[in-house]
Amino acid sequence: DTGVSQDPRHKITKRGQNVTFRCDPISEHNRLYWYRQTLGQGPEFLTYFQNEAQLEKSRLLSDRFSAERPKGSFSTLEIQRTEQGDSAMYLCASSLRRGSTDTQYFGPGTRLTVL
Amino acid sequence: SQQGEEDPQALSIQEGENATMNCSYKTSINNLQWYRQNSGRGLVHLILIRSNEREKHSGRLRVTLDTSKKSSSLLITASRAADTASYFCATAAILTGGGNKLTFGTGTQLKVEL
């Protein structure tokens, strides 16, 4: 079963360092999403790609955050100059267009801890 | 920001009992979805109900939607220990290109005891 995969699963970094996460969506899925989840809360939307185009970005995505999906397949999320408030689970999801509904399949997430 | 809240925040029941979780939301929606999350399998899509639907069933799950009250409920019948997880409702808004922005609630932690 080739579901959504994310790498790494865990990342511990020091404040001020840059980190990059990777997401590999389900192969035929043209839509890809990033969400962030903090302890005790539901996931919050960060950004969305359709193929290689980034079509929506949340205001949560400060200028320290950048996401790419260069060939419309895998995606990367980079956080520059990490802060302790960036500690969270970063979730990636993908979907395939079927009418107006869009069932998103989530990966296992990357848990980031900023010391 | 969270769209709304699930109620209750935590629920503990015995195996075989039914579990009901409620969700309230604030804005107009295209559809509402329920997800389950546990440490073993991550976030898993359970069921989707469109804004023009009032009730939907899938196996042991029953979802209702009342758009006039901006609320939904998830009923799990004949619960099993494996149903122990956090349950989230998520409202969907249509994005440019047709994608769905999901806005999740705060979740209900369900514990099913043997």
Chain A CB contacts of B27 below 8 Å: none
Closest residue, chain B, to A59 (C-alpha): B1
Residue among B90, B95, B107 whose CB faces A55 most closely: B95
Judging by beta carbons within 10 Å of its beta carbon (0-12, 13-18, 19+), is residue B111 exposed, middle or buried?
middle
Does residue B39 surpass a pLDDT of 90? no
A positions 41-100 inside 8 Å of B (CB):
41-45, 48, 50, 53, 55-56, 91, 93, 95, 97, 100
Residue-wise pLDDT for B54-106, tens only, equals 999 999 999 999 999 999 999 999 999 999 999 999 998 888 888 889 999 99
* Of residues A76, A75, A64, A66, the one with CA closest to residue A114: A64
pLDDT of residue B1: 45
Question: A60 pLDDT band (50/70/90 cuts)?
Answer: confident
Residue-wise pLDDT for B1-15, tens only, equals 456 678 899 999 999
Does residue B30 surpass a pLDDT of 90? no
Inter-residue contact A47 to A59 (CB < 8 Å): no
Q: How many A×B Cβ pairs under 8 Å?
A: 78
Does residue A98 surpass a pLDDT of 90? no
Question: A44 pLDDT band (50/70/90 cuts)?
Answer: very high
